[in-house]
């Protein structure tokens, strides 16, 4: 049977996407790209995103897509979590989030539930909804980015969270990448039958709206420096600013700090940027894609979404991966560099100002990713639409 409500012209598939969003922007941006692709492929479809991002209001969503905010939590430098709201304990916030997830799932009655990255959700908060939807016949899908972490670190983490035991609940696992670049579940003791449910979609192609650029970029070629959400981007921006201060670099550079960049460090770096004739900065731009499209090169830490954008807009990329609290960015950067898709400054090498300046000077002249074509590299969104269509067909057959 199906649980979508009749509407004129037929019964649209309803997709619920869970994005826990405890840190940064990556999860919400990935969920939004997928949601927009799903409604573009079937305008009658309805998608609800559950997100814990405190800046979800800054993003526009296509017709047919809505975003429901979960109470926020944040990750501390120690690796522990706490509520974003004052006066609330973590257990209380998790219970509230779990109740809201369950409420939305029951009211929206999806026939496809796509869970991003965490099989059980943050602190197990998605489990009650998973079990209820499974009992109703809703198709459950776990969506995974191309790299999760070093297997030696991921295995004990998932064991501790009980994530491996949850995997058999899922009908399918979609990996938003290519196995030839990285296999995120290799090295894990997967329960029987799970590996057969795994599909590699390819990376998620991004597009950019036609819009005027901020005055900071003008028409002159520029390097885009983006630490993503910015919460852990101080070292990246510092390395770029230091290189510009030390060397006479040709191209302008535009630094987009991100909404979570530490305030004190941003103020200090902004003053140094304002004093340099080849540097400019923005606090945040929710439509970073339009800047990416015009940049002569991109300097980034190498999170999943930024990597997809570098590939999509075919920009020469220089990656300075962070290695705390995960080695995800380092693994992705090294794999991409081996294939000639990006350049990499290894951890610690950014402290060599001359080396950093040389890499920045060379960046606009480096070959773009398209110079090393890889079949299926950016086929992720069409693949997801096909997989969702198969879920549509399964729902109709079950009626």
* Per-residue pLDDT tens over the stretch 376-386: 999 999 999 99
If asked whether residues 277 and 383 sit together in one domain, one would say: no
The two tokens of residue 352 are 């060599």
pLDDT above 90 covers what percent of the chain? 73
Terminal CA-CA length for the chain: 4
Contacts of 393 (CB under 8 A, 6+ apart): none
If asked whether residues 366 and 383 sit together in one domain, one would say: no
**What's residue 84's pLDDT?**
75
The two tokens of residue 227 are 């630490």
**What's residue 248's pLDDT?**
85
Residue 289 within any structural domain of the chain: yes
If asked whether residues 257 and 140 sit together in one domain, one would say: no
Q: What span, in angstroms and rounded, lies between the C-alpha atoms of 40 and 207?
A: 13
**What's residue 72's pLDDT?**
82
If asked whether residues 347 and 285 sit together in one domain, one would say: yes
Which residues of the chain fall short of a pLDDT of 50?
1-11, 216
Q: Is the dihedral of CA 309, 311, 316, 320 positive or negative?
A: positive
Residue 8 within any structural domain of the chain: no
**What's residue 121's pLDDT?**
94
Closest CA to 129 of 89, 186, 169: 169
Q: What span, in angstroms and rounded, lies between the C-alpha atoms of 228 and 30?
A: 13
If asked whether residues 234 and 159 sit together in one domain, one would say: no
If asked whether residues 307 and 387 sit together in one domain, one would say: no
Q: How many domains does the chain have?
A: 2
Beta strand pairing call for 73-75 and 81-83: antiparallel
38-75 pLDDT tens trace: 999 788 999 999 998 887 888 889 999 999 999 888 77
**Residues 348-356: contacts with CB under 8 Å, at least 24 apart:** 350/235, 350/236, 350/239, 350/320, 351/239, 353/242, 353/243, 353/246, 353/247, 354/246, 354/247, 356/239, 356/240, 356/242, 356/243
Angle of helix 234-246 versus helix 263-274 axis, rounded to 10: 20
If asked whether residues 196 and 325 sit together in one domain, one would say: no
CATH number at residue 243: 3.40.50.2000
If asked whether residues 172 and 265 sit together in one domain, one would say: no
Residue 383 within any structural domain of the chain: yes
Residue 131 within any structural domain of the chain: yes
If asked whether residues 188 and 259 sit together in one domain, one would say: no
**Longest CA span, the chain:** 68
If asked whether residues 242 and 309 sit together in one domain, one would say: yes
Q: What span, in angstroms and rounded, lies between the C-alpha atoms of 155 and 322?
A: 20
**What's residue 363's pLDDT?**
98
If asked whether residues 83 and 159 sit together in one domain, one would say: yes
Which residues form the domain of 265?
222-371
**What's residue 392's pLDDT?**
62
DSSP annotation of 368: P
Neighbours of 68 (CB within 10 A): 15
Q: What span, in angstroms and rounded, lies between the C-alpha atoms of 54 and 72?
A: 6
pTM of the model: 0.90
**What's residue 230's pLDDT?**
87
Residue 200 within any structural domain of the chain: yes
Residue 210 within any structural domain of the chain: no
């Amino acid at each position: 049977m199906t649980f979508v409500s009749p509407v004129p012209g037929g019964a649209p598939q309803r997709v619920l996407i869970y994005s826990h969003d405890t840190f940064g922007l990556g999860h919400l941006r990935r969920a939004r790209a997928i949601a927009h692709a799903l409604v573009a492929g079937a305008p009658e479809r309805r998608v609800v995103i559950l997100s814990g991002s405190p800046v979800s209001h800054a993003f526009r969503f296509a017709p047919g897509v809505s975003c429901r905010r979960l109470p926020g939590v944040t990750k501390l430098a120690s690796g522990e979590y706490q509520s974003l709201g004052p006066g609330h304990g973590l257990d209380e916030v998790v219970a509230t989030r779990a109740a809201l997830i369950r409420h939305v799932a029951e009211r929206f009655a999806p026939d496809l539930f796509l869970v991003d990255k965490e099989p059980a959700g943050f602190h197990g908060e998605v489990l009650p909804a998973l079990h209820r939807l499974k009992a109703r016949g809703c198709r459950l899908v776990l969506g995974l980015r191309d790299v999760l972490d070093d297997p030696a670190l991921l295995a004990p983490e998932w064991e501790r969270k009980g994530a491996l035991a949850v995997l058999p609940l899922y009908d399918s696992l979609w990996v938003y990448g290519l196995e030839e670049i990285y296999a995120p579940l290799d090295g894990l003791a997967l329960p029987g039958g799970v590996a057969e449910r795994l599909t590699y979609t390819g990376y998620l192609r991004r597009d950019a709206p036609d819009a005027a650029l901020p005055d900071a970029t003008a028409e002159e070629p520029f390097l885009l420096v983006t630490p993503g959400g910015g919460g852990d981007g101080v070292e990246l921006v510092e390395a770029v600013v230091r290189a510009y201060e030390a060397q006479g670099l040709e191209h302008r550079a535009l630094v987009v700090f991100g909404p979570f960049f530490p305030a004190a460090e941003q103020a200090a770096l902004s003053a140094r940027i304002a004093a340099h004739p080849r540097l400019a900065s923005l606090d945040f731009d929710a439509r970073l894609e339009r800047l990416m499209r015009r940049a002569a090169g991109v300097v980034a830490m190498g999170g999943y979404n930024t990597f997809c954008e570098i590939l999509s807009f075919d920009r020469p990329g220089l990656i300075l991966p962070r290695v705390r609290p995960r080695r995800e960015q380092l693994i992705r950067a090294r794999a991409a560099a081996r294939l000639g898709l990006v350049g990499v400054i290894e951890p610690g090498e950014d402290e060599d100002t001359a080396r950093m300046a040389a890499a920045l000077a060379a960046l606009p002249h480096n070959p773009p990713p398209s110079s090393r074509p890889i079949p299926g590299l950016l086929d992720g969104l069409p693949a997801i639409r096909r997989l969702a269509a198969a879920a549509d067909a399964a729902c109709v057959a079950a009626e």
